[in-house]
Structure 1
Amino acid sequence: MPKKFSDEPVEYESLGRYESQEHLNLSAQRIISSSPSDHTVIFSFYDGRFQLSLAQLRYFTFLSIDISILWPWNCFLSASVYFIKKFGAGSNLSNNYSSTMMTVSTLTSFALNSYLSTKQFANFVNRIKLGCLINFSIFIILSLIELFWPTLNSGSYFTFVMLLILLSSVGTCFQQNGCMAIVNVLGPIYAQAVMVGQAIAGVLPSIALMLSNLLYPSKSDDSNGGIVIYFVATSIITLISILLLLITNRYKDDLGTDIEHESPISSQQQPSEYVPFAVLFDKLKFIVSSIFTIFVITLVFPVFASNITSVNPNWGKLTSDNIYIPFIFLVWNLGDLAGRMVCAYPQFVISSDRKLLLYSVLRFVNVPLFFFCNLSKNKGNPIVDSDLFYILLQFTFGFTNGHNLSCCFMNVANYVDDEQKEAAGGFTTIFLSLGLAAGSIFSYLFVLIIS
């Protein structure tokens, strides 16, 4: 059973170090007298009409961090068309770009997340910083190469791009591991911020791609200027998340210690013990199984989104394939965002781990309904002759993904002991990565079915 939320305020030395309740009881008076609370106003303007509290700053910090976590993946995914054209349509390099990118990224994520989850005694703020700096550097390098050497298209350059994708996955793993460890300590609302940030990172590229095709239908692939701007924007987003993290971490409890050191704060507080995976799995088996199932089922959605077209293709530009398909990706991502945002309201959060697993499995009922829509092989004779039906189906599929996933991550901390929360954060990322890898493989089954 999940633990009940305590009404007693919990203080933290910093974003990167959890303080046990026992230690807080020993030094409560010193903490209260010298530490800002979550409700402390740290910024205000217009005579106090607009105020920013520490809790709000933390929320937006974690939201921005997770935008920067998922954005690089979406950036490489959105750049597929550019790189396929760059390496020559129909060539071995272009034909293998997408599948190689997916393989390199998912395998790297799974391997490194598995390793990092065993390193439970760490400064998790530093892990986030390191991950952000890696991705910032990678996209600056890509921007410079595409700006000054846009004609590079050899096998060596293909290998170099895959190396950058691998390193980007490494950076993302450091960010993700550190972020999930911290939010498990800070509380469920910050886990919800993480989920919303990831959804925003999915929505914005979809909008950019659709607008690009809508406003510049004949020029979108003729220049590398757009991709350079996209790479630079990715670096800027990552830089913003680093700055917000540094600002937020200034408002930490003044316990007279340096957060960069991993020694115990007090001699009366013993270092946390290593938490075996078997212990974590015993407590989180239903939640991590739900996370795995969510991704396995969800990753069939791009297959259908890329192969289902409008039943009214002659209605104009909006129903043409180059606009309609990005629009469907946007619809799914908006549903995903909505599902994550409703979890800000406690009445919409499912707390039972068994119900979450059942929820994740029942989402599969959406999948057969896609075969009722205007698949390419149906040759304009769908079982349900309605774009509205398909749009609502994609929105629902996205909404249940975001809602189910947010509920899972928001409840992780409620099923483990206080000293196990940071370790649990890293443990869940293993199943996230494993779900992505398995989902990618599972999606190939549907590629074969609808081809």
Structure 2
Amino acid sequence: MERLRQLFKRRDSYEPLEGGSEGPDGEQIPHPKHNTFSWIDYSVFLLLGVAMLWAWNMFLAAAPYFQRRFESNDSLLQNFQSAELSVATVGNLGSMIVLTKLQARASYPKRIIASLAINIVVFTLLAMSTRLFLGVSAGVYFGFLMVVVFSASAATGLCQNGVFAYVSGFGREEYNQSIMAGQGIAGVLPCIAQIVSVLSVPERKPEAGGPQESSKSAFAYFLTATVISAIALVAFVFLLSRHPSQDRIKHTLEADEEEQDPPSTERKSIPLMRLLKKLFWLALAVFLTFAITMMFPVYTQQILSVRDPATAPRLFQPASFIPLGFLFWNIGDLTGRLLPAVPALSLTSRPRVLFIMAVSRVAFIPLYLLCNLQGKGAQIRSDVFYLFVVQLLFGISNGYIGSSCMMGFGEWVDEDEREAAGGFMSLCLVAGLTAGSFLSFLAAG
């Protein structure tokens, strides 16, 4: 009878499901004991969010270093950023599609552990490349870089699919928000590390330039990704010891198994079309948000300070100003990811509003054309306009809309669909990144 009451209570497939914080008659329903909020768990998911996107942001912030490695080849110099984005998102999307199809027998903790182990190996190789074989041609290094980027993106897909699916079983939106916040932190810290590494190396004459000049700082910069992945791996193993997956799955399915046989560890496969029907506006919003966002890396590595390079401080030289642009965008992104944690600012119950906001972000793209692209002059001669109006606000909009979508999907699906919905929303996010990465070639041109 209770299920019939819930069925007739829902007016359409996009109305919040009952059984959350309030019962059918409005009474408050406390969280079960196993769903009690824990700052320890929150911190571990925060760290997993950092590890998840550290590589992505590391490649972006290292644009000045890669520019030096490719300066002997004009074609690679102009298109390496878009090639990075495309290879990364294709690898990420491909792995996400395969993993989403293999949800019935999925071991999400194993996927997370495997992704972190792959990252440790890949980042170590990348760090070694800054000290060894510095004399190889730009084409050879480009091929190596594409292999590294593809491997790291496949590992990111493993991590995204595993983490968002695993965290959904806890039934706490705060943990989803912690992952999104961790991803925002992963954008800020690599930029700071890159700026510090550049400013810490004594300035040299132009004729002494080259990849060898910054190999020592680049080695330390890339090696931080290995350290972050190793710390995240240890933290996640600790989390598993606190919440054995068998016990967590049992609690997740507890309500439907009271009158049935003992539970099986194999999950029911959820059709993607069913998830799309229930999550249509949120899925479309997160897709468009990140598709539009992919324009910013290409423009950011092309925009220079409006100050005279001959007299500008080192912070406004290209080697540090480009990471500074990424830093402002990522500070905005991190701020936006934190805003939905404030109940008064949450729009998880209004998916259509999030979709409209996602579409409106396309207005930021023309603003980049007003800045100092490739040093050819700016329509608005102001670094403040570029850093605070364009980069910061564009980042805030990305973080806020993306985090709201990834926090809110649990309200629109049944409890036994949450893990599959987490993987599906991650797939939509990566699909948006992939579509945007191919469109970014237009911006690079």
Task: Provide TM-score, normalisation by structure 1.
Answer: 0.80
Distance 1:108 1:257 in 2: 31
Letter of the 1:173 partner, please give it.
Answer: G
Assess, with a 3 A threshold, how the Cα gap between structure 1 residues 161 and 444 changes in structure 2: closer, same or farther.
closer
Distance 2:74 2:214 in 1: 20
Distance 2:176 2:363 in 1: 27
Letter of the 1:3 partner, please give it.
Answer: L
Whether contact under 8 Å (1:80, 1:97) holds in the other structure is: no
Aligned residue pairs total: 405
Distance 2:139 2:401 in 1: 42
1:208 CA displacement: 1.9
Whether contact under 8 Å (1:68, 1:201) holds in the other structure is: yes
Assess, with a 3 A threshold, how the Cα gap between structure 1 residues 120 and 10 changes in structure 2: closer, same or farther.
farther
Structure 2 equivalent of residue 359 of structure 1:
357
1:29-428 correspondence to structure 2 within 5 Å:
38=36, 55-83=38-66, 85-86=68-69, 89-90=72-73, 97-121=80-104, 122-144=106-128, 146-147=130-131, 149-153=133-137, 158-186=142-170, 187-216=172-201, 217-218=203-204, 221=211, 222-252=213-243, 267-269=261-263, 272-313=267-308, 316-351=313-348, 352-376=350-374, 379-380=377-378, 382=379, 384-393=380-389, 394-428=391-425
Q: Deviation per CA, 1:147-180: give whole Å up to 9, x if none.
A: 4555455866654443332222221111110001
Distance 1:336 1:440 in 2: 18
1:248 CA displacement: 1.6
RMSD: 3.1
Whether contact under 8 Å (2:82, 2:437) holds in the other structure is: no
Assess, with a 3 A threshold, how the Cα gap between structure 1 residues 102 and 269 changes in structure 2: closer, same or farther.
same
User: 3-state SS of the aligned residue for 1:273?
Assistant: coil
Whether contact under 8 Å (2:191, 2:323) holds in the other structure is: yes
Letter of the 1:120 partner, please give it.
Answer: Q
Distance 1:146 1:234 in 2: 14
1:242 CA displacement: 0.8
Whether contact under 8 Å (2:58, 2:191) holds in the other structure is: no
Of stretches 190-199 and 86-95 in structure 1, the one that deviates more from structure 2 is 86-95
1:442 CA displacement: 2.2
Of stretches 91-100 and 246-255 in structure 1, the one that deviates more from structure 2 is 91-100
1:226 CA displacement: 2.0
Assess, with a 3 A threshold, how the Cα gap between structure 1 residues 93 and 194 changes in structure 2: closer, same or farther.
same
Assess, with a 3 A threshold, how the Cα gap between structure 1 residues 153 and 10 changes in structure 2: closer, same or farther.
farther
1:419 CA displacement: 0.7
Assess, with a 3 A threshold, how the Cα gap between structure 1 residues 316 and 130 changes in structure 2: closer, same or farther.
closer
Of stretches 202-211 and 188-197 in structure 1, the one that deviates more from structure 2 is 202-211
Of stretches 221-230 and 57-66 in structure 1, the one that deviates more from structure 2 is 221-230
1:406 CA displacement: 0.5
Distance 2:371 2:78 in 1: 28
Whether contact under 8 Å (1:67, 1:200) holds in the other structure is: yes
Whether contact under 8 Å (2:103, 2:267) holds in the other structure is: no
Assess, with a 3 A threshold, how the Cα gap between structure 1 residues 10 and 252 changes in structure 2: closer, same or farther.
farther
Of stretches 197-206 and 437-446 in structure 1, the one that deviates more from structure 2 is 437-446
Distance 1:374 1:312 in 2: 10
1:146 CA displacement: 4.5
Gaps of 5+ in 1: 12-31, 40-54
Assess, with a 3 A threshold, how the Cα gap between structure 1 residues 350 and 141 changes in structure 2: closer, same or farther.
same
Whether contact under 8 Å (2:81, 2:298) holds in the other structure is: no
Structure 2 equivalent of residue 17 of structure 1:
none
1:287 CA displacement: 0.7
User: 3-state SS of the aligned residue for 2:393?
Assistant: helix
Letter of the 1:267 partner, please give it.
Answer: D
1:92 CA displacement: 6.4
Q: Deviation per CA, 1:17-37: give whole Å up to 9, x if none.
A: xxxxxxxxxxxxxxx6xx7x7
1:63 CA displacement: 1.1
Of stretches 366-375 and 398-407 in structure 1, the one that deviates more from structure 2 is 366-375
Letter of the 1:169 partner, please give it.
Answer: S
Whether contact under 8 Å (2:69, 2:210) holds in the other structure is: no
Distance 1:336 1:197 in 2: 11
Whether contact under 8 Å (2:340, 2:346) holds in the other structure is: yes
1:135 CA displacement: 0.8
Whether contact under 8 Å (1:89, 1:95) holds in the other structure is: no
User: 3-state SS of the aligned residue for 1:3?
Assistant: coil
Gaps of 5+ in 2: 1-14, 22-27, 251-256
Whether contact under 8 Å (2:332, 2:395) holds in the other structure is: yes
Q: Deviation per CA, 1:271-319: give whole Å up to 9, x if none.
A: 5421111101001111111111101211222333334443443564444
Assess, with a 3 A threshold, how the Cα gap between structure 1 residues 338 and 120 changes in structure 2: closer, same or farther.
same
Task: Provide TM-score, normalisation by structure 2.
Answer: 0.81
Letter of the 1:198 partner, please give it.
Answer: Q
1:356 CA displacement: 0.8
Letter of the 2:398 partner, please give it.
Answer: N
Assess, with a 3 A threshold, how the Cα gap between structure 1 residues 195 and 256 changes in structure 2: closer, same or farther.
closer
Distance 1:89 1:299 in 2: 26
Structure 2 equivalent of residue 24 of structure 1:
none
Letter of the 1:392 partner, please give it.
Answer: F
